[in-house]
Amino acid sequence: MDRYERFYRGLHEAVSAINSSLDPATVLEKIVEQTAKAMDAKGCTLRLLGKSGKMLRAGATYGLSRNYLRKGPVEVAKSEVDREALFGGGVVCIADACADPRFQYPEAAREEGIHAVAVAPLTVDGKAIGVLRVYAGDVREFDAAEKEFLQSIADLSAIAIENARLHQALKTDYEMLTAYEYRIFED
């Protein structure tokens, strides 16, 4: 299977996951798995900005060890690559995370066998809500087609997250409305 076929199948699987469930965990897990496989990468993570906007919290991961995932918090102020993606608005790539000062945990990357990293922003209405990262086990440059694929998956992920948030808000409003109607009819 050539890489464009893998990209197509990865997009198809991501869209199918988004269309089949409103459970964010299920959808995001499928997205990170398909992204890593399509890009022939070691792993993939999707991180969401915390309420303060200072931390990126793991939303879903694929292909990485527990030790690596527990390396420490990802702080926006200390992770230049994430800041560039979040506020620059495009895909940011590092050919060797072990030797690039923009990467927050180079020693943990070396122990995990990670070298190249690509980071795409997740945005809703022009506002950054998180990042989608792909990790490769070799030193390499990501080409334009890979960056475009990663940004497309990041955009789909942002839509899925926003749909889940809107669904939860609608469900909460409905429950409050029905509780209010019960009180009126009982009084």
Nearest to 125 by CA among 93, 92, 166, 84: 166
**Domain span at 63:** 3-185
Put simply, whether the predicted model's pTM sits higher than 0.85 gets the answer yes
User: Per residue in 38-90, pLDDT tens?
Assistant: 999 999 999 999 999 999 999 999 999 999 999 999 999 999 999 999 999 79
CATH at 144: 3.30.450.40
Mean pLDDT value of segment 90-100: 96
Please tell me the total count of domains within the chain.
Answer: 1
Say how far apart CA 40 and CA 139 lie, in whole Å.
Answer: 13
How does the average pLDDT of the chain come out, rounded?
A: 92
If DSSP codes are grouped into helix, strand and coil, which group holds residue 102?
A: coil
Share of the chain above pLDDT 90, in %: 74
Distances (CA, A) of 5 to 29, 38, 42, 168: 21, 9, 19, 35
Q: What is the pLDDT of residue 187?
A: 64
DSSP state, 28? H
Which segments of 39-143 does DSSP mark as H helices, in order? 66-69, 80-88, 106-112
Distances (CA, A) of 137 to 6, 71, 95, 144: 18, 18, 10, 19
User: Per residue in 103-114, pLDDT tens?
Assistant: 999 999 999 999
Say how far apart CA 42 and CA 113 lie, in whole Å.
Answer: 9
Say how far apart CA 41 and CA 156 lie, in whole Å.
Answer: 19
CB atoms within 10 A of CB 75: 13
Strands 55-62, 92-94: pairing is unpaired
